[in-house]
A and B are shown apart, each in its own frame.
Chain A
Amino acid sequence: GESVGLHLPTLSVQEGDNSIINCAYSNSASDYFIWYKQESGKGPQFIIDIRSNMDKRQGQRVTVLLNKTVKHLSLQIAATQPGDSAVYFCAENISGNTGKLIFGQGTTLQVKP
């Protein structure tokens, strides 16, 4: 599968491979993180979230990893499908605050059939 150590604006993977999308967050006080998927012309779609008291959380075909030491978040998508093609954003939030999300730079995932 494709693995990206640093944030890249575009990630191209073969259908069936695993994808890893990376995100560096900015605020060390952030303790709640969400990954969103955004298809062209649509609103961000909630994928998975994780709190800072965890370092890993799994969903259906997706896993989020959190490394608070280096302020790094990653989204792993297993067996990537053409329908996974979209822009992926990570967003950070400080719990106990007002809840506004600070978005990271998006990564465009392109799935090749």
Chain B
Amino acid sequence: AAGVIQSPRHLIKEKRETATLKCYPIPRHDTVYWYQQGPGQDPQFLISFYEKMQSDKGSIPDRFSAQQFSDYHSELNMSSLELGDSALYFCASSYGGQGDEQYFGPGTRLTVT
């Protein structure tokens, strides 16, 4: 069965640079969630989209923005990167906007140097 696809899998950036992470949800899933996971931490919710509209926002810095496109894929844009942004970024998808059976992608490991 098709799973959530994330790209790139690994990304190395320098401080103050920008990064764009992409997420392709499971086919027919209309809802995308972004989470950030620091080393040894549990995933923390950043932002979500349902039917191409932002549905919720968590502890996401103002330097970050995201959107969901007409094909339901989503992109997380990160600017003015800081060392503390180094983490695993996961995208999850589900159907119906309420988070039932939320499936996660393999993640993007972002390293800021």
Contacts and interface: CB of A to CB of B under 8 A. Distances in A.
Q: Do A and B bind each other?
A: yes
Which secondary structure characterizes the binding site on chain A?
Answer: loop
Interface stretch (A52-60, A67-75, A77-85, A89-97): A89-97
Given A98-B97, A99-B48, A99-B98, A45 B42 contact: no
A95 B43 contact: no
Contacts of B90: 43-44
Nearest to B43: A103
Contacts, number: 78
A42 interface: yes
B103 interface: yes
Interface in B28-52: 31, 33, 35, 42-45, 48, 50
B107 interface: yes
Given A95-B98, A99-B94, A43 B106 contact: yes
A42 B37 CA distance: 11
Interface of A: 32, 34, 36, 41-46, 49, 89, 93, 95-106
Interface of B: 4, 31, 33, 35, 42-45, 48, 50, 55-56, 58, 90, 92, 94, 97-107, 109
17 contacts: A36-B104, A43-B106, A46-B104, A93-B99, A95-B98, A95-B100, A98-B48, A98-B50, A98-B56, A99-B50, A99-B98, A99-B99, A100-B45, A100-B56, A100-B99, A101-B33, A105-B42
